[in-house]
Every structure is written in structure tokens, then in C-alpha cells.
Chain A
């Protein structure tokens, strides 16, 4: 391999190992000093100027923007029951409710709400609640001494409404292989409010 190194031997000899007096390659120095300069610039910009917001601020901004984007329409409805009815009447909201359900509820209520450790949500029998208001309360604060966990710290208000809307929509689907009915049969939930009802 031909190269420009002069390969001058030093008078070093260790157990037969010799060493050349070659210089360190120039590109090595260039990159080494480059990384040092870059490091200083990076640290100064990040920590000593306001150019980059800190990571918590960035998180909060993302969360706020996401909530605005996702829930602006829902947040205009004050009455919680009306909100749930609105969700029940709109497939788009129901899909989002299903997503919350996937992340939070399926471990106990199974993939389609047919019940596993928690009861079947696809029949007309319910435990610990008699209406939508009760369901909001059960999802938020839990029930039966922790058998149903509280979600007040894990889901925001809108997500709770979404998941309640979705669970209400599961009623009467009687998914095959579901757990036997448990609890009391309760009166039907109020009708969904579809986008058309709102005169849209």
C-alpha cells in the first residue's frame, strides 16, 4: 500500500516491537478539533442562550397543541352527558375512544370488551353503575375497592369521555365468547347525538 508516510523507525524496541515516527494523520486532527469546537458551541447554545426551550417546555407545548387539535370541538360542550352522547354518535370520536380503550382497558376487559378479569361490557348488565354519569364516575375514580382502578391520574377529562362513549357503544354487541352477564341490568343509555342532529 503506497502512501505518503515516511516510515522512519524510532530507536524503540520492546520485545522486538518497533515504532515508526509517523505523524498523526491530518484528518484525525481536523475531526478531533472539529468535535471539540462543535461541543462547546452546542453546550453554549443549549444551556446559555434562550434559543432552544428546555425539554419540559417542549413537552408541554406538544401536549397543549395535541389537546387543542384533538379536542377543540369536544371542549365546547359543557354538559358531560351531552359530550358522551356526541361521541357515541360520531364514528371518528368512537375510533379515538377505541384507541384509549386499547391502551388502558383491554388488559382486564379484553380486546372487544367481552371481559377477562373485568366484566363483560357488551351485554346489558353492569356493575357499580346505573347510567352514563355513573360510568364516568367509575372510569374516573375506580370502583369496588380497586377492582376497577381509577384513571383520574392517567387520562384527561376528554379521554375519559371518549372511552365512556366507546364503552357505551359496545353495549348490546354481545361479542362471542364473552363472560356471562354480571351485575344488574340497567335502563338504556340516552341516544347518540349524530353530527346531523347538531344541524351540521
Chain B
């Protein structure tokens, strides 16, 4: 065991154990997280494979609402990120931190609370998301009680335990892996809290009125941000979830496990310093590149783009340090599956972090945005980088945690090859699909006609690619199942009792004067130059490395700057969201319909954001303006158009078309891959909750008139529902008394309202305004 070799290492005392403290590492918690990683990984991959097959074969959901794509896709992303990658991170942190600090975790209780709390959060996600309980923001779908649980488990149990371990460490300096863990803990806390500030509408309603309007309403919240601001906050969060949940902790993992497995020194300490600080400072600015050409002001979009471009080298610093550390160990890569996984993992990191800046360039993004190209990019990151680094770590850890040889090195190598082939098939198929569809959307001829005016044509073209992708994903899942078998067989051979070696190390003395001193290497007589040269030698950083609390504060400052520079003007300067006088709040029924739209996860396939390009305005209508979204909580701009954009859907089709389309999308749109939404036709609208919804919006400053406040919202909603149901009947639909109280009517009310406000006449005669009048909206 290599742990034994570290015993009493670094001690200056010659007398055995004199003045030394003894400690035992807590490997049980690592074993728990390691099992959770592989088990949740398989769940996440399985759901991914299921929804991948749905793209090629939409009937797979069998008309069951809990199995619809819009509800399962968030389950897949949350499982892959927070359950698989999350538990993998924790296994890495708990194993390496103890050894890097020469200290057991500060509190076994906090470790256990962290483990079980996190698993409980995952289980509650797996229950609530298929039930349609969601905040409707990507990777931040979990509703407010789970948000609170995450904050406590992450910051108090995990963060508290971690920082106290650092404080009680017996190693003077903290190693680069720990810097990355610090950045992870600090920044994820900031992002999670910042993006999840809400009003729990159902709870407020219950407390104020004593009325209980159903469990799903009790869990419902509205974000305090609306429209453009909500979008900015969401992608500040969303992008930096990639940065600080899927990048920094995995770099920390790499810095510990890769040199351990390769048994080689880390290539460059200087590079560690410069790429760490440039990465954490620059990453946080990059979020707005998810919102190019949207209603987000262009200056913010430009910041998102240029910081993404500047991020290229800081990211590659990690790749260089990873791959260059393998110098002298390449011969072992051929025989050691752990190193194989690490090499491919780090290479995929390099590819994704080159592709990221490329996709953030506005011109490239105009093609890639809303297509599968983004999906391909994400999967090369998660399957290649996060997945393979995690598997490499697990193959290295299992024999050490269970103190027995790995059951089969051959199976591990087989897993590596199956996983690699699956991943490459997946990614290539989806690249092809994304670029094909992007080019089809934008194709128009010299007479101004779209080459493919029918959206479905651009979908059916991709179906063969979707089969290949689903097959590739299946291979990746099979690889993980082989790993599970291998781990299980290894575990079966474990000793009856684990050997728990006792380690000895001296506590850190209060006084330390070993800091390196920089001497200016300049010979010229220049005071400022000398100072600069001393700074460039970086010895000051060595001092920071022995002060983890101060280090944490510096990291916090570094990650606060970018977000603040982008967010503060967006909230304070009204010219960023010019108001449009005819844009009014949703009616109570439309609001209820919108909440159903959010709950069903429609945003997973439909955008509500028409970009200012000729081919978009031609296909979808006038481009979207910031002032149109001021009542959208949450914003629903979406990130992928599996179906067409819906921002100008209002008034485009009859109620009957929508009704028929929900009942059977293929009947109105042959070739459509949208599943049937028959339950919308059968389930009743929760009219009892509507007053609570309106009141919560009013609390957030939405200017509702007296006619829907003070208990009148329900009446208002019922009247509108009956009106629409009657119109539906007139158009040849079912009798109105069978439809008016169903969810489909509320959703139709919302859809028919979408994007229509800018065409209303600004004068106060809306009741008589005829449809022929067009308002002069100033662009």
C-alpha cells in the first residue's frame, strides 16, 4: 500500500513518534462515494440512452407523462452532473484531501451527513423531475426545498468539513489539487445561491390564506429575476456549473491521481499557479456566450465571447500539465488501463476547451446555437473528460480502497475501448446532425426564400444520426456496466477486515519562517523593475499556499469580479431592457398555462428567442426584444430547437390545431418527433392555485390590476378558459363543457398570447382594437 510509505514522512523529528500526532485516514467514506459514483453513473447513462432513443423513436414514452422527453431530459442531465460527477468529485476530495493534509477529515459526522444528504437530494431529484416539479432553468431545475438542502449539504457539511480539515492539516503548504477544490466549493456555493433566489409561491399562499392548493403548487417557486436578467443569471450559473462543478474539481482530481498513477512529478509548478488563477478569474465572465444574438444586450455578449477566447490557454494549462506529467511514463500507458483513461480524459479536456472558445465566437455560434453541435460539445466534455477521469480514478482507487488486486485488468481495458468507441460514435453523429441542421435552417436563396421552410424537414433528415448516437451511448453504458461488474468482483475478494494503518506527523508550529525569498535578478538600477522581477518569481504564492483561509478569500474575490461587472449594470441600467408600453402581464389563466409549459419541460425542445437573422425572422417572425420578457419568470428562451421556436406562436394557428397537435402531433405534423401529450387533454387545471400564482407575481412587482387580485383571479381564469373552450368548439373541436377546465386550454391560452403584445395598439382601447391595426413598435 502506498499509504504506508507516507507514514511519518515530512517529519523533522528523529525520535520515533516524539512530538508526533497519530491519525488514521477515513477510507470508508471514500468507499461509500465510490460506490455511489458508479451506481448513479449507470442510472444517469441509462436515462440518457432512453431519451436518445426517444429522438429516433418518439413513441418510446408510451404516452406516459412521467416518461416524456421534457421531464426525463432534466433527470438525465442532473443525474450525470450532480449524481455521477458529483459523487466522483466527493470520492476524489475525501481520498486526496486527507492525504494531502496528513489529517483525517475534520468530522466523521459531517462526512456522513454529507454523503447521506447528497444521496437524499439525488433521490428527491429522481422523484420530483418526472413529476414535473421543476424551476424550468437548465441544470437548476430542482425546486426550492431541494435547493435549500443542497445549500446546507454543500456548504455546511461538505465545505465546512473540508475547510476545517485544511485548518487542522499537518502539511505546511496546500497542494494545487486543494486550490482547485477550494475554488469549487466557494464558487459553486455562490452560483447556486445566486441563481436560486425565489419566492415560494405555494408556501406563501398557504401561510397567508391557510389554503392548501395541491402538493405540486406547494413546491412551486418563481425566481426574483425576470426575462433578460433571469437569462443572464441562469447562464452565469449554467456556464460556471461547467466551470466549477465539471472542470475545477476534475483538475484537482487530475493533479492528485494522475501523478500518483504515473509515479512521475508534476510537469510545472509555475504553470499550475498561472493557469489556476487565470482560469478561476476568467471563467466566471464567460456565461453570456450562451446568449449570443438573443435579447441580451450586445456588450454583455461581447464580454462573454472575449473572455471565452482568453480562457483557451488557461484551460490548456491544465491539459499541458496533465499530459507532460506523463513524460517518461508513456510506455506504461500501453499496459495500464488507469493511465489509458487519464490520457484520453485529459485529451478530451483539451479538445473541449479548444472547442468552447471556438463556439463562443459569435459568427460560429450563430450556426451552432440551438443545434446538436452544443450537445456534442457537452458530451465530449462529460463523457470524455469527466467520465474517463472518474473511471480512471475508480480503477486506481478500488484496489486500494478494498485492499485487493483489481478483479480483471482485461475487463478494465475492454471498458476503455468500448467506452471510447461509443463516445466517438456518439459525438461524430451529433456533430454531423448539428451542423447539418444549422446549415438547413439558415439556407435561403437569392429570391429571399428559405430553402427548407418546413421545420420538420430539418428534423427528419437527422433521424439516422440519432440512431447512431443512441447506439454510441449504449456502448458507453455497456462499458460502465462492465466496470460495475469488475468493481463488484473486486469487492467480493476484499479482506475480512481492512488494514487501517496509523500515520504519524507533527502538528504545524505556529511560527514558520521558511518562506522563500525572491532576489531581484536585474542588474540595472531600477527600483520598480526589481519589485516587478521579484513578483514574477512567484515566491509570494508560496506564502499564500500555507494560509488556506486567506487563499479561499482571494479565490472568492477572483470569482466575484466577473459576475458583478456583468450583472450589476444589467439590473441597475434600465436602457439594457428598454420597456415596451404594450407588453402586459399574463392573465391568470395564461400564467397557469405557462406554469404547465414550464412543468412539462417544453423548453427542452422549444426556444422562445428569435435571433435577429434574416433566416430566423423569415421563419418565425419579428426578432425578440428584451422588453417582451419582463414578466417571464423563469425566462424560457431554451438552448436547443428540437422543435421550432415558439416566441411568436400566438395567433399563428387555431385553437383546434393546437388541441389536435397535443392529442397526436403526427396527425397535424407528419414526421414530427414530438410525443403525444394526451394527459393535457384529461388532467384538470388547478384553478384553486391560480390566486396564489397571481399573488406571488404581484409580490414580485408585476402590475396586476385589482380585477385579478383579492380573490378574483380564479373567476377571471375560469371565464377565459370557457371562452377559449367555446371558440375551440366553434372551430370544430370537442364540446366546450368537456374541455374548458382541462390543462390543454390553459396551455393554449398561454401559447396564443406568446409574442403578440408588441402588435397591440398602444392606446387605451384594447377592448375594441381590431386585429388589422398594427402598432408602431420602435425597434
Chain A positions near chain B (C-beta within 8 angstroms): 1, 3, 5, 7, 9-10, 12-25, 28, 31-32, 35-36, 38-40, 42-43, 46-47, 54-56, 58-59, 62-63, 66-67, 69-70, 96, 99-100, 102-103, 106-108, 116-118, 140-142, 144-150, 152-154
Contact = CB atoms under 8 A, between A and B. Distances in A.
Nearest to B661: A107
Nearest to B615: A62
Contact of A148 (B449, B654, B774): B654
Interface in B229-246: none
A12 B267 CA distance: 13
Interface in B738-777: 756, 759, 770-772, 774
B265 A35 contact: no
Contacts of A107: 653, 657, 668-669
Given A23-B268, A42-B305, 17 more contacts: A10-B269, A18-B266, A42-B306, A43-B306, A46-B298, A55-B612, A59-B623, A63-B617, A69-B448, A96-B447, A99-B453, A103-B454, A107-B669, A117-B660, A117-B732, A153-B774, A154-B652
Interface stretch (B48-56, B307-315, B402-410, B522-530): B307-315
Q: Which 5 pairs, one residue from A and one from B, show the smallest C-beta to C-beta distance?
A: A103-B453, A39-B306, A32-B313, A66-B448, A18-B265
A154 B201 CA distance: 36
Given A16-B6, A99-B449, A154 B648 contact: yes
Contacts of A36: 310
Contact of A145 (B2, B310, B450, B730): B730
A149 B731 contact: no
Contacts of B450: 99, 103
B656 A149 contact: no
Contacts of A117: 654, 656-657, 660, 668, 732
11 contacts: A12-B173, A16-B6, A21-B268, A23-B268, A31-B312, A39-B306, A42-B305, A70-B449, A107-B669, A147-B730, A152-B772
Contacts of B447: 69-70, 96
B327 A145 contact: no
A54 B362 CA distance: 13
Determine which residue in B102, B265, B657, B731 has the highest number of CB atoms from chain A within 10 A of its CB, and name it: B265
A13 B618 CA distance: 63
B351 to A, nearest CB: 16
Interface of B: 2, 5-6, 9-10, 96, 99-100, 102, 171, 173, 175, 256, 259-260, 265-272, 274, 278, 293, 298-299, 302-303, 305-307, 309-310, 312-314, 316-317, 320, 327-328, 330, 446-450, 453-454, 612-614, 617-619, 621-623, 648, 651-657, 660, 668-669, 727, 730-732, 756, 759, 770-772, 774, 779
Determine which residue in B450, B654, B774 has the highest number of CB atoms from chain A within 10 A of its CB, and name it: B654
A80 to B, nearest CB: 15
Contacts of A3: 327
Given A3-B327, A59-B612, A19 B654 contact: no
A117 B664 CA distance: 13
Contacts of A21: 268-270
A160 to B, nearest CB: 13
A175 to B, nearest CB: 15
Contacts of A46: 298, 302
A127 B278 CA distance: 67
Contact of A15 (B6, B278, B307, B648): B6
Contact of B454 (A10, A69, A102): A102
A96 B651 contact: no
Contacts of A108: 653-654, 657, 668
Contacts of B305: 42
A14 B100 contact: yes
Contacts of A149: 651-654
A13 B171 CA distance: 9
Contact of A153 (B269, B309, B651): B651
Given A35-B313, A148-B654, A19 B266 contact: yes
B320 A28 contact: yes
A140 B772 contact: yes
A19 B176 CA distance: 10
B730 A32 contact: no
Nearest to B648: A154
A166 to B, nearest CB: 13
A146 B617 contact: no
A56 B612 contact: yes
Contact of A55 (B298, B327, B669, B759): B298
A56 B96 CA distance: 52
Contact of A146 (B314, B612, B731): B731
A102 B618 CA distance: 12
Contacts of A147: 654, 656, 730-732
A32 B269 contact: no
A59 B448 contact: no
B621 A141 contact: no
A147 B767 CA distance: 20
Given A99-B450, A147-B731, A152 B771 contact: yes
Contact of B730 (A1, A13, A96, A144): A144
A62 B442 CA distance: 13
B267 A59 contact: no
Contacts of B173: 12, 14
Contacts of A102: 453-454
Given A28-B317, A59-B614, A67 B651 contact: no
Determine which residue in B256, B450, B453 has the highest number of CB atoms from chain A within 10 A of its CB, and name it: B453
Nearest to B454: A102
